């Protein structure tokens, strides 16, 4: 059966990229980022202490993230960052400087990120089949941070369209983020494939909007029979390179 896929949308975390691997734990990477961030922000607020940055920005933000799965939108991390600065610093720090601040904080996560060793070859092979590639990702931090990571791995060039929940007013599993991605990629639901590692946030919502779906089953999850039987479910893989040999065009 010909599936006639024009566009493949990928989830980001735990699908294209794994931010949780590497020599350091997530907390250790965040702590390194905080130390770098503190040195940067001292030039705007000389009264800032590391403890204040840690408590008023990082801990306050992390505590809020505990309920993000139940929210339709992401928390604005910038508000938490500004709360750690004094009034004068808040009034003079520019948007570009805030962007730089979050890139600095994110840098250790970028430095230790991992992906499949042959990911670039996989994406190139899919592009050579005239398939457009995009990203639809739930993320609590601005998309430009992930763009920096993709750029550092020489992967950004494969994805002209990237849709990050932080930058939008909706997130997976809502229909809106899939509709937004399809509209801005100039494609149709029925001509699109979604590849992700979560049944609840990726596969089920993709199928519900008439996308086709492939489950990256990297945790040996048992796929429910009703999903396996769905006409648009194209199967399970454990490596993205397996997409190359699927009947997609």
pLDDT digits (tens, 9 = 90+) for 186-212: 999 999 999 999 999 999 999 999 999
Whole-model pTM? 0.95
pLDDT digits (tens, 9 = 90+) for 134-165: 999 999 999 999 999 999 999 999 999 999 99
- Residue 178: pLDDT band (50, 70, 90) is very high
The secondary structure element, H or E, covering residue 194 is strand 192-196
Tokens 């059966």, located at residue: 1
CB-based contacts of 192, cutoff 8 Å, min separation 6: 5, 6, 7, 8, 9, 182, 185, 211, 212
pLDDT at residue number 22: 83
pLDDT at residue number 157: 98
pLDDT digits (tens, 9 = 90+) for 60-110: 999 999 999 889 899 999 999 999 999 999 999 999 999 999 999 999 999
Pairing of strands 212-216, 192-196: parallel
- Residue 2: pLDDT band (50, 70, 90) is low
Q: How many residues does the chain have?
A: 249
pLDDT at residue number 29: 97
- Residue 169: pLDDT band (50, 70, 90) is confident
Mean pLDDT of 32-47: 97
CB 8 within 8 A of CB 132: yes
Nearest to 39 by CA among 55, 30, 50, 25: 50
- 143-152 and 95-112 helices, crossing angle to 10°: 50
Rounded Cα gap, residues 201 and 63, in angstroms: 22
């Amino acid at each position: 059966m010909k599936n006639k896929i024009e566009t493949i949308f990928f989830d980001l975390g735990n699908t294209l990229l794994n931010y949780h691997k590497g020599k350091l734990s997530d907390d250790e990477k965040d702590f390194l980022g905080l130390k770098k961030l503190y040195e940067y922000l001292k030039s705007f607020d000389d009264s800032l202490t590391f403890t204040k940055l840690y408590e008023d920005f990082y801990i306050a933000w992390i505590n809020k993230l505990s309920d993000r799965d139940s929210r339709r939108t992401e928390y604005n991390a910038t508000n938490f960052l500004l709360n750690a600065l004094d009034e004068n610093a808040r009034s003079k720090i520019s948007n570009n400087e805030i962007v730089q601040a979050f890139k600095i904080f994110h840098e250790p996560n970028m430095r230790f990120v991992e992906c499949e060793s042959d990911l670039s070859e996989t994406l190139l092979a899919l592009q050579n089949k005239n398939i457009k590639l995009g990203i639809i990702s739930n993320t609590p931090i601005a998309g430009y941070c992930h763009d920096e990571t993709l750029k550092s791995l020489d992967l950004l060039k494969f994805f002209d369209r990237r849709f990050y929940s932080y930058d939008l007013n909706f997130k997976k599993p809502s229909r809106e983020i899939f509709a937004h991605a399809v509209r801005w990629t100039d494609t149709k639901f029925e001509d699109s494939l979604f590849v992700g590692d979560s049944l609840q946030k990726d596969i089920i919502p993709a199928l519900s909007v008439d996308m086709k779906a492939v489950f990256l089953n990297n945790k040996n999850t048992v796929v429910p029979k009703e999903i396996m039987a769905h006409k648009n479910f194209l199967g399970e893989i454990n490596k993205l390179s397996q997409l190359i040999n699927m009947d997609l065009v």
